[in-house]
Every structure is written in structure tokens, then in C-alpha cells.
Amino acid sequence: MPDPLTPEQRHRCMSHIRSRNTKPELKVRRWLWQHGYRYRLNVSGVPGKPDIVMRRFRTAIFVNGCFWHGHEGCPKYRLPQTNVDFWQAKVSRNRERDQRNYQILSQNGWQVIVVWECQLTPRNIEQTMAQVEWNLNHNLLDIIRRQRRRKPKPYIAFDAPLPIAAEDETEYPKPAKQ
Ligand SMILES: [Zn+2]
């Protein structure tokens, strides 16, 4: 199936798709930031190049455009009238790649949250992000539970002298958020 675009057009098109600062992604980032969540972008070593990486929650967030990532049943995912086969193949390739990435992440112990562009309209964004927040906290609790299970409580014999540390008004550094 021939590509209807010239190589130059294709390059422009693809670099646009790959660009990181797409508007829906910015909406998610802004919301998270305003609600005190800190994150990283384009973290190397995290498979699948997630849009937003929240290490503390061991969660990767993908903000997907409904058309390019083929949001099933979404009015925004409507194939153009011409070159239907081409677009269909293109979108299903993207979908397969997405699924592969999600799988690799989850095999590496990451939680994946997918947010769709259409869920970020002014009408929907609060509900969507509340759901994202719920998932983040759920993931964090999971991490904490697993860590507790791994670390047995230290055993202190009763006849052993307990270690005593005298500290006068020590200023503890605030724990880093992420
Ligand atoms: Zn959609």
C-alpha cells in the first residue's frame, strides 16, 4: 500500500506525532503540577517512552490522541474518506505498538495509566483527573504494602541495652517528594 505523502510530508507528519508537548499532554501535566504531583518527562530507561513518568508511584502515564492511537468508539477517531486502508493500517500499527509498550512496562513492575484526548475537555477533565489521582494513590499504597512485606521488623532482645541517641533540636531535611 503506497504512502500518499511525499517523504518530506511524511517526516513532518511523523515528527509532529512524536512531539512531546502536545496540548492534551500539557493539560494533564498542568493538573498534576497544580495538585502537588511531581513527575518527569522522557525518562531514559523507562520502556515505551511514556509521556509522564511518576517514579514515586511507579506509574507511567500516556496521553493519547484519539485519532493516532485509535480510540475505539470515540467520535474523534474517524478515518479520513480517502486512503482508508492506509490510515487504518497506520492506526493499527500505532495501537499494536502501544499495547507492546504497556505490556513491557507492566512486566517491569510499572503501572500504566492511559488518558485519552477526549477525556480532557473542560467538561471531562476534572472527573478524568480524579480517576487518575485515585489510580496513583492506589499504586502508591500497593508499593508501600509490598515494601512492608519485604522488610521484617528488626528484632531487639529485651536484655540488650537499647541504643540511645541524643539529638538536640535537630532539623531534619524535608523528604523529597519524588
Ligand atoms: Zn477519544
The CATH label, of 3.40.50.300, 3.30.70.260, 3.40.960.10, 3.30.565.10, for the domain at 16-149 is 3.40.960.10
Q: Compute the distance from residue 102 Cα to the ligand 1 centre, in Å.
A: 18
Give the helix, strand, coil percentages of the chain, each rounded to 5. Answer: 45, 10, 45
- The residue written with cell numbers 467520535 in the block is 75
CA distance 105 to 48: 7
Mean pLDDT of the chain: 83
Question: Is 90 exceeded by the pLDDT of residue 160?
Answer: no
- Distance, CA 51 to ligand 1 centroid (Å)? 17
Residue 60 has pLDDT above 60, yes or no: yes
- Report the C-alpha gap between 102 and 170 in whole angstroms: 45
pLDDT for residue 117 is more than 80: yes
Rounded Cα distance, 50 and 167, in Å: 44
The three cell numbers locating residue 95? 495501537
The CA 120 to ligand 1 mean position distance, Å, reads: 9
Give the mean model confidence (pLDDT) for residues 77-88. Answer: 87
Percent of the chain scoring above 90 in pLDDT: 56
Q: Which CB contacts under 8 angstroms, 24+ apart, belong to 21-24?
A: 22/63, 22/65, 24/63, 24/64, 24/65, 24/115, 24/117, 24/120
Residue 124 CA to residue 103 CA, distance in Å, equals: 27
Q: Which pLDDT band holds residue 20 (cuts at 50, 70, 90)?
A: low
Q: What is the pLDDT of residue 121?
A: 94
Q: What is the pTM of this model?
A: 0.71
Distance 123 CA to ligand 1 centre (A): 14
Confidence of residue 79 (pLDDT cuts 50, 70, 90): confident
Q: 118 C-alpha to center of ligand 1: Å?
A: 4
Q: How far is the CA of 111 from the centre of ligand 1 (A)?
A: 21
Q: What are the domain boundaries of the chain?
A: 16-149
